[in-house]
């Protein structure tokens, strides 16, 4: 039986997305033995600085691409929003899955909406796009950096470090955490990241 190795980050969401792709591949190609190759990336390891300060979202790809170059994996699975507009050769995106919910979500344990947050409330997000939109709608808010996987971010909220945090709806839904969504932030009032909610498969094109 031919083995197909999928490089993936180790976060629960990344593993869910990679297993989702693996299940689709097994269904379409029963002769394939599809296995996951979990690994850590610099974007996962450096959590005390914003992504913009340490090199951007491409940091989530580099270690997975190196694994493919070394022959340790045959393809990699990413959130498409984390993939740069131009890939370094020899990499290509042969498959993009049907896009899930593209909206962002406000998650708060105390307040029902962005508008209901009190003056000077502490809102966690490290996304420059989300910060800009929060400042435009609520310039009084304290915007605090928030890094880590979905469960880590929710734990920081639950521990009282924030009055609210902004996450992607799709990530919460995939992890069975849709009930944590307090308010959907969606177009035209709120713009998501390009390709948010879509899963991409990357491989070598050579």
Residues assigned a catalytic role = 82
The helix (run of H) or strand (run of E) holding residue 133 is helix 128-137
Close Cβ partners of 168 (under 8 Å, ≥ 6 residues apart): 103, 104, 105, 192, 193, 196, 197
Which of 186, 13, 31, 178 is closest to 102 using CA atoms?
Answer: 186
Would you call 81 helix, strand, or coil by DSSP?
Answer: helix
Helix axes 150-158, 12-28, angle to 10 degrees: 150
Q: What is the DSSP annotation of 154-170? A: HHHHHTTS-SEEEEEHH
Distance, CA of 187 to CA of 161 (rounded, Å): 28
């Amino acid at each position: 039986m031919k083995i197909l190795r999928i490089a993936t980050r180790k976060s629960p969401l990344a593993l869910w997305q990679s297993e989702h792709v693996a299940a689709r591949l097994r269904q379409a190609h029963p002769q394939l033995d599809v296995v996951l190759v979990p690994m850590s990336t610099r974007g996962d390891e450096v959590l005390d600085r914003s992504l913009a300060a340490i090199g951007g979202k491409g940091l989530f790809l580099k270690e997975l691409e190196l694994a493919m170059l070394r022959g340790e994996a045959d393809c990699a699975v990413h959130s498409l929003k984390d993939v740069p507009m131009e890939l370094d050769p020899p990499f290509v995106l042969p498959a993009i899955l049907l896009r899930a919910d593209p909206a962002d979500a406000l998650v708060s344990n105390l307040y029902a909406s962005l508008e209901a947050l009190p003056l000077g409330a502490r809102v966690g997000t490290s996304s420059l796009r989300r910060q800009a939109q929060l400042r435009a709608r609520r310039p009084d808010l304290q915007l605090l950096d928030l890094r880590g996987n979905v469960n880590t971010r929710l734990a920081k909220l639950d521990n009282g470090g924030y009055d609210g945090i902004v996450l992607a709806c799709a990530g919460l839904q995939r992890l069975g955490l849709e009930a944590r969504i307090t308010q959907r932030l969606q177009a035209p009032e709120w713009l998501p990241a390009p390709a948010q909610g879509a899963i991409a498969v990357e491989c070598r094109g050579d």
